Amino acid sequence: MLLRGKAHIFGSDVNTDYIISGKYKFKTLDMNELAKHVMEDLDPDFYQKVSPGDFIVAGSNFGCGSSREQAPLAVKYAKISAVLAQSFARLFYRNAINTGLPVVECDTANITAGDELEVDLTKGEVTNRTKGIIIPVKPLPPVMIKILNDGGLAAHFRKYGGFNF
């Protein structure tokens, strides 16, 4: 799968309260509504700035904090095609794979705001077209590749009726 878009840069330790605040997530299951508030406390205009297919690019420990699956879902419904980070917090990582949001662990130091990126999930590499560099991607564990390929954990369960690794 080849994804194309531009980079939106965030720092390290972006927690799930920043991704989607608790004050919104308890109220609704309408992810299109939640998506409007994604990253609001870090950048109030973020949702307006995103063009479909763009990437969130961050430092280490992206998605630390709560178990809320609304975090990867709000990112996905904001039309972000993938999150690139130096590292991810465990819960966000699992939830993203389960809900079908690609998470890409790679060196993000050479990506700056507005860079045009191309992410090849099959080959496992990120091309920074603006800077003309290729960044290798840390491969996903096989079980997560299986879940992603099945279309998320719900689809995996529909297909097999349980865990099938």
The pair phi, psi for residue 57, each rounded to 5°, is -125, 125
* 10, 18, 55, 77: which one binds other proteins (CB under 8 A): 18
Our finding on whether 162 is near other proteins (CB under 8 A) is: yes
Q: Could you tell me which stretch among 1-9, 69-77, 110-118, 121-129 binds other proteins (CB under 8 A)? A: 69-77
Residues 41-60 that bind other proteins (CB under 8 A): 41, 60
The torsion angles phi and psi of 106, rounded to 5 degrees, stand at -160, 170
Of the candidate residues 91, 103, 106, 121, the single one contacting other proteins (CB under 8 A): 91
What residue spans of 100-163 are helical by DSSP H? 142-149, 153-160
- If one asks whether residue 157 binds other proteins (CB under 8 A), the answer comes out as yes
Instruction: Give the residue from 131, 75, 73 showing the smallest Cα distance to 107.
Output: 131
Q: Pick the closer one to other proteins by CB: 60 or 130.
A: 60
Region near other proteins per CB under 8 A, out of 62-70, 104-112, 118-126, 128-136:
62-70
- The closest alpha carbon to 47, from 36, 56, 57, 58, belongs to 36
Q: Which stretch binds other proteins (CB under 8 A): 2-10, 105-113, 126-134, 148-156?
A: 148-156
Residue 27 burial (C-beta neighbours within 10 Å; 0-12, 13-18, 19+): exposed
**Residue 165, token pair as written in the block:** 């690794």
> Which residue has tokens 């809900």?
99
Q: Which residues bind other proteins (CB under 8 A)?
A: 13, 15, 17-18, 21-23, 25-29, 41, 60-61, 64-70, 73, 87, 89-91, 94-95, 98-99, 141, 143, 152-154, 157-158, 162-163, 165
